[in-house]
Amino acid sequence: MFIEKIKIKNFKCFENWFEVKFNAGVNIIVGNNEAGKSTLLEAIHLCLTGMLSGKYLRNDLSPYLFNRDVERRYLESIARGEPLAPPEIQIELFLGGDNDVLEDLRGDKNSEKNAKARGLLFSIEFDKKYDGPYTELLKTKEISSIPLEFYHVQWWEFSRQPAMARNIPVKSALIDSTSTRVQSGSDMYISRIVREFLDEKERVAISQAHRKLKDAFKVDGNVDAINKRLAEAAKISRKNVSISVDMSSHNAWENSLMTYIDEVPFHFIGKGEQCIVKTRLALSSKKNSEATVLLIEEPENHLSHSKLNQLISDISSDNSGKQVIITTHSSFVANKLGLEHLILLREARVTQIKDLDASDFFHKLPGYDTLRLVLSQKSILVEGDADELVVQRAYMDANGGRLPIDDEIDVISVGLSFLRFLELAKALKIPVVVATDNDGNPAALEKKYADYKNIGHIKICYDPDVDKGDLIISGKPFNYNTLEPKLVKSNSVDTFNKLFGTDHALDDLHRYMKRNKTECALAIFSAKTKITYPKYILDAIAI
């Protein structure tokens, strides 16, 4: 069993209807800050558990759950005397998989009116029994926020039966390494997942052992002496007062359950190790009668590179058929788990990558900064560090000293992997410029980038002129068609001798710049005086 798709209406950053389809296995959610990644995981968990931030939402409503633009339009309509209907939040989960187990959830209580769908609906909506008081309140025009006192929470199966957490066959495990929710000294999630390993017979045995602890605590000599003193202290109460272990409910032991790792309380171990332990426990659950959707929030937080690799390997190789939905800003995580699972969130819109040729390349070489491209507003792709420095300085000279990143333009060094990054840019419609050498063969470049020639958001920049000379270095003809000789051509030998503090003739300058590419580029980047740039560089920065 797994989540086929989610539909969200008016919840936090998602205005009106927002929809995402999921793979049955691994799903990687990426996006800039405030794009809605965390909200998406919260919505899934809320619809499966009724809980948000560790609390049952039914008892903890807030106007900040509603999309701010929706709330603003609602309040403005009241001020105009033309009130819109009170806004509502809806979250729908469409489930797929085992037909028999999910059959009870089949019905048409969903926005699509699809009677064949199986799933759950969680809503926060106006309660019509308050029509009278609400109408009177509208007359005053004194509503400054959504009147939650007239709202209620509704949780339904698509079959139109009320939903209850214990009857939902799909369970969610939300793992956020950035926070630890502790109740009575025990991490709420780790305690719950350990309890879920126990069958009914084991749960009864632990409950009985806990009751014996209470009895032993009560008859302890020190406790008995304290209770006698409390009973004698009439100022406290006219009735008998004593202290004991909480046994107020049949499952009181669950609230005092403490998990230890190597005899250290779980909440005292490192955040990174907590994330790994939680994830492995969720992955190793043997309760086959219930499917687990593993929701992981930015696992790269608090983890070293080797630990992150270890965790991602666990997720990718041993997820035991569980569905994994993971948010990340890490290219390593995205590449390692496979870019074919990538779901990109941009301004509450979603784009998915399927059947990407470059996916295998990035998976085998996960060090590539693919998410720098994926998360950028615009990008300039260059071959190496020297090119990156020169392009950065050219942009600064043309834009009042601002770096490209100040204008949300990322200059990315991609080696010789231009085509693989362009495939990503094409699929995601990311504005991208390639600034590259012609290496003496413009026709080869035309052929290489032919598939991207007429794509509006992709631009290929290179010098169409082929330059020649007589210089030989190490028995090979010098390449006059790379960045450094093009820079010399656009300026003069004297310009660079002054900039580098050298006294070279033309050929010696070419040799010097070839041997010291990065140092020369750094000198250009840091120079107080400006130089003239080849036209293809100027075209590239005019993104």
- What is the rounded CA–CA span in Å between residue 223 and residue 506? 93
Q: Each residue of 292-338: pLDDT tens digit? A: 788 888 877 766 767 777 777 777 665 566 888 988 887 777 777 77
Burial environment of residue 125 by CB neighbours within 10 A (0 to 12, 13 to 18, 19 or more): middle
Q: Each residue of 415-456: pLDDT tens digit? A: 888 998 898 888 888 899 999 999 999 999 999 999 998 999
Query: What's at 153, amino acid-wise?
Result: V
Q: Flag whether pLDDT at 166 surpasses 90.
A: no
pTM passes above 0.75: no
Q: Each residue of 21-60: pLDDT tens digit? A: 998 888 988 887 778 888 999 999 999 999 888 788 887 8
- What is the rounded CA–CA span in Å between residue 284 and residue 280? 6
Q: Each residue of 189-209: pLDDT tens digit? A: 555 555 555 666 776 777 777
Query: What's at 292, amino acid-wise?
Result: T
Please measure the distance between the N-terminal and C-terminal CA atoms of the chain and give it in whole angstroms.
46
Percentage above 70 pLDDT, the chain: 79
Q: What b/e sequence results for 145-179 when a residue is b if at least 16 CB atoms lie within 10 Å of its CB, and e otherwise?
A: ebbeebbebbbbbbbeeebeeeebbbbbbbbbbee
CATH of 2-22+36-168, one of 1.10.3470, 3.30.565, 3.90.660, 3.40.50: 3.40.50
Query: What pLDDT sits at residue 543?
Result: 80
Indicate the domain borders of the chain: 2-22+36-168, 182-329, 376-543
Q: Each residue of 452-503: pLDDT tens digit? A: 989 999 999 999 999 999 999 999 999 999 999 999 999 999 999 999 999 9
- What is the rounded CA–CA span in Å between residue 341 and residue 110? 27
User: Is the Cβ–Cβ distance between 339 and 370 less than 8 Å?
Assistant: yes
Query: What pLDDT sits at residue 389?
Result: 96
- What is the rounded CA–CA span in Å between residue 275 and residue 179? 10
